[in-house]
Amino acid sequence: MDAIARLDGWLPGRIFWNDDDVEASIVEWIHSDETGFPDAFLDDTFARLTRRPANVLFRRRTTLAQLEAWAQHSPGIRPTGLIFHVSRCGSTLLAHLLGRLDGALVLSEPGPVDSLIRAGDRLGRDRQIRLLRAVVSALGQARAPGQTRLFIKLDAWNTLQHALIREAFPETPRVFLYRDPVEVLVSALRQRGVHTAPGLLPGGLFGIDDEPDPDAWAARVLGAILTGGREAADAAPTLLLNYADLPGAAWAGVAGHFGLTLTKDEVARLTLASGRNPKRSDQPFESDAAAKRDAAPEAVRTLAERWMRPAYDALEALRRA
């Protein structure tokens, strides 16, 4: 084994899997001198950083073993809280608000974490868990003095791997954020994400054999994620959070669940910040629930009721219990 590869200032950006020999897989790292991840999604930060020519030509390359060794050598911030969500449900707002807390670093839908969660049969379970911790450690290095809180908003479909993630981070509190099925589906169909566009993710992930109707695909995927959220809550303590309780729940419920006692300044800062929609910072954040429900054609309602409503109702019953 070589001496530890020093990776201060470097971020694991992509994992290039080698399916013939998994230990020959390559982690590619990009450099950042920024003190955090200011964009709505980590991938946006990566896209910005890779506009620097040096992050094209002079990326670092390591093995998975070197990634693990780096995590041993330079542990990142211990994760403070995990956010699971159904997507289109205010998760970006929640992550944005948590990012405004003192000493906070937010990983929003980190691609390399998803890549490891979906690495599946390439890795044994123990190794997958060690690497999952290692990649979170590498992404979660303190980037400024006083940075001590690390929040991770996962990709929506990672909810289905809640048990794996629990094994990797058994002590990290987690929330599952969701929203009225019709509102989620209307929003998902208006602007499809990776999981709600058929064919980008394997259907098996969601228990779908075959689904020719793209709208039904989206409803079934979202329904599976809602079910995953309920199963996560059954398996381990999970704060269930309905979109309707945002933004106040960010400081009233989530912070406490994550073991944080907020200062008056922090609450004031979050209250102020919640007046804005982080994806459209020029517009005030407002609940668009009524608009989304009213815009739903009958066919969309039917899909939401069939594939998503039962799981949603079960979540609501559990949340209110």
Partner 1 sequence: MIDRFRLPLTVNTAALRDDLIALSAEGWVPHFNGDFHDGDWTGLVLRGPMGATDSLLSTGEAFADTPLMALCAGVRTLLAGLDCPLRAVRLLRLAPGASIHEHRDYDLGYEQSEARLHVPVLTNPGVEFHLRNRRVEMAPGEVWYLDLGQPHRVFNGGATDRIHLVIDVGVNNWLRALIPFEAADPFRPPEPLVDADTAAANLDRFRVLVAAEPDLHAALRDTTDRDLFVEETIRLGLERALPFTAAAVRDAMADERRRWNEQWMR
Provide the binding-site residues for partner 1, judged by CB under 8 A.
Answer: 6, 13-17, 28, 31, 50-61, 111, 115, 194, 200
Answer for the pair 178, 85: CB distance below 8 angstroms, yes or no. Answer: yes
Q: Nearer to partner 1 by C-beta: 53 or 204?
A: 53
> Which residue, 211, 219, 249, 209, is CA-closest to 312?
219
Select 50 or 74, whichever has its Cβ closest to partner 1.
50
Instruction: Give which of 158, 164, 202 is closest to 176, Cα–Cα.
Output: 158
Nearer to partner 1, 77 or 113 (CB): 113
Please, what is the Cα angle at 160 between 156 and 165, to 5 degrees?
Answer: 95
For 169-209, give the DSSP string. Answer: STT--EEEEE--HHHHHHHHHHS--TTTSTTSS-GGGGT-S
Bridge partners of 177, per DSSP, are 85, 241
Of the pair 200, 317, the CB lying nearest partner 1 is at 200
d(CA 188, CA 186): 6
101's CB contacts (< 8 A; 6+ apart) are 149, 255, 260, 262, 266, 270
* Residue 286 DSSP SS3: coil
How far, rounded to the nearest angstrom, does the alpha carbon of residue 137 sit from its chain's CA centroid? 15
CA distance 273 to 281: 10
Minimum distance, C-beta of residue 19 to partner 1, in the bound complex (Å): 10
Of the pair 46, 312, the CB lying nearest partner 1 is at: 46
**Inter-residue contact 215 to 296 (CB < 8 Å):** no
Nearer to partner 1, 205 or 289 (CB): 205
The residue among 8 and 286 lying less far from partner 1, judged by its C-beta, is 8
